[in-house]
Structure 1
Amino acid sequence: MNEAAIRRAGAAAEATAAPAPRRALAAAGRAGLVLAQRALLLSVLLAVVFAAIELLPGDAATATSERGESAAGTAARRHLLGLDRPVWERFGDWMTALPTGDLGTSARGERVTGLLAAPFPNTLLLGATAFAVTLVTALALGCWGALRPGGAVDRILGLACGIALALPEFVVSVGLLLALSLWTGWLPPVTLTAPDGSPASWTMLVMPVLALAVPQAGWNARIVRGALADQADAPHVTAARLDGLSPRRVLLRHALPGAWPAIATGAATSTGMLLGGAVVVETLFNYPGLGTVLSGAVADRDTPVIAAVVACTGAVISLVLLGADLVRARTLGARP
């Protein structure tokens, strides 16, 4: 190779490599923009929470008043809680303190940060375990059905997944309580709390996790099956079949990677459903999570606690959605 050819090859290599840093910067900029948009959306949601609690009958001072308390005592506590100030002013103060980690004070005089210190990790444990069970089950069922498209297994799995996703969490919870606790005695019907505030045994997680995972596993299995069906006619998948590769290898090595964007988006969407369903499931199983705290806070009209729960769960959902966006962008960017 002469010197001119070497120079041309070097220039071509530089041209190919140069855009990489720019692509990284562009990806970081897009991620920052998405985070800013979701932070703004969360702020609007928190404003709606403050306004909605304000419209409910009564307030935190009357809801937490002692029996026989005088009107003067209730008015004094209302002033102490700042309820005599405009709602927009209280919302502004709460939002200003939020970036510092200060979630305010509850209507009963407890720091909200301390109030959520034990329940929030418990809910994260429940939600993360249910999310993992959901994803693994959905991938297994979706891939199993895709190995024999249109076959008996595929049709049965499609019917079963349709039934599962139509079942509300409380119906699944009642069924699990009957089958695994009352009739067989295999699992404890309620959750007992250890001294540190966590569930006393891992067996107490089984039914709450299943109650959350069953409907979402059915939904995500259908997404996996549909995404694999869309990939079945892709050129690289067709070429792999024509090369004589086994159906399992074609599915796992060629169809599944292209289906990841849709799978990741569906799984991320399920995060909100899992955390929302956790409120009902935690109440039914007496699980020491945010559901119990939230139900008590609504009864007390305790705006700082309700807003803190919404902020914590909203932050988790936003991060999971961002992860799904990154998986989708990486997968699409890796395609030739």
Structure 2
Amino acid sequence: MLVILLAVIFAAVDLLPGDAASATSERGESAGDIAHRRHLLGLDQPVWERFGDWITGLPTGDLGTSARGEKVADLLAAPLPNTLLLGGIALVATIVAAVALGVRASVRPGGKVDRAVDLASTAAFALPEFVVAVGVMLLLSLWTGWLPAATVTGPDGGPADWTMLVMPVLALAIPQTGWNTRIVRAALADQLRTPHVAAARLDGLTTRRVLLRHALPGAWPTVATGIATSTGMLLGGAVVVETLFNYPGVGTVLAGAVADRDTPVVAAVSAGAAAVIALVLLLADLVRARTLGGRS
């Protein structure tokens, strides 16, 4: 599937108007200069040949050369940790908030808190990341001045201050918290109907203890699957969020690469994202297998 995905990406970038030679040309360059650069970049070859040359180097860690002459691996070395930091914090915040809200709503099904959480989670999931980003920027930066509107890069290549992470994390985490809260709530509702949870209730245990000690462990396989799905959504949303907040991550590099029609960079970012998603899906499957195996 990864090979097919990368082949589609190569074809899609090739179909965009213009090419990397013209997109990265300097003012005053002649048509002959652009044609020479097009030859150096291999753009005069069929797209399937360029894809074959690029993907054969992928197993050895060779991600190719960008349209501006930089090694793609070196180009991504600095922003990749920043994106992993942003996505990791957003994922942890999503998990904590979703589990807390889902458990709280399940204490009294159909009650006021349950209905409020259901409404809020539905609204949060319906909002795209860029809408949430604009909203938090207006509220926390332009109107109140509490947080900086844009990210300033520090000497180490990351954000100069931790406060610059707050709004990007919120923009990524809020929609996925809405999605995962609904998953946690539905998984707990299923668990509350199982015989062992009913037996725990008959034993006189409190609702909170039943939820945390008996229902939540059984809900983890479903919750883990939802979290794994959110990982892909977080990485996809990072492209927009990093661009809006001028965050020095892979999303900003990807946006520039698309503008430059820089196929090797676009494909390398996609391959890295796919590898992270595959790893998280594997971990979710292991959690599911362990939990279901423990029950049997």
TM-score (norm: length of structure 2)? 0.98
Match of 2:127 among 151, 167, 170: 167
Match of 2:168 among 208, 219, 237: 208
Report what 1:283 is aligned to: 243
**Counterparts of residues 232-243 of structure 1 (less than 5 Å):** 232-243=192-203
Whole-Å separation in 2 of the counterparts to 1:59 and 1:170: 28
1:223 paired with 2:206, answer no
**Counterparts of residues 249-260 of structure 1 (less than 5 Å):** 249-260=209-220
What is the CA-CA distance between 1:62 and the residue it aligns to?
A: 1.1
What is the CA-CA distance between 1:68 and the residue it aligns to?
A: 2.1
What is the CA-CA distance between 1:64 and the residue it aligns to?
A: 1.0
Report what 1:22 is aligned to: none
**Counterparts of residues 78-157 of structure 1 (less than 5 Å):** 78-157=38-117
Deviations 1:134-182 (A, max 9, x none): 0000000000011111111111111111111111111111111111111
Deviations 1:42-98 (A, max 9, x none): 111000001111111211111111122112111111111111112111111111111
**Counterparts of residues 311-330 of structure 1 (less than 5 Å):** 311-330=271-290
Whole-Å separation in 1 of the counterparts to 2:81 and 2:167: 18
Whole-Å separation in 1 of the counterparts to 2:214 and 2:75: 49
TM-score (norm: length of structure 1)? 0.87
What is the CA-CA distance between 1:246 and the residue it aligns to?
A: 1.2
Identity %: 75
Larger Rg: 1
Is the partner of 2:152 in helix, strand or coil? Answer: coil
Whole-Å separation in 2 of the counterparts to 1:151 and 1:193: 46
Q: CA RMSD in A?
A: 0.8
Letter paired with 2:215? A
Whole-Å separation in 2 of the counterparts to 1:175 and 1:58: 35
Report what 2:234 is aligned to: 274
Unaligned runs of 5+ in 2: none
Letter paired with 1:219? W
Letter paired with 2:22? T
- The 10-residue stretch of structure 1 (189-198 or 63-72) with the greater mean CA deviation from structure 2: 63-72
Report what 1:76 is aligned to: 36
Letter paired with 1:328? R
After TM superposition, which residue ranges in structure 1, 4 or more long, deviate above 2 angstroms?
Answer: none
Unaligned runs of 5+ in 1: 1-40
What is the CA-CA distance between 1:335 and the residue it aligns to?
A: 0.9
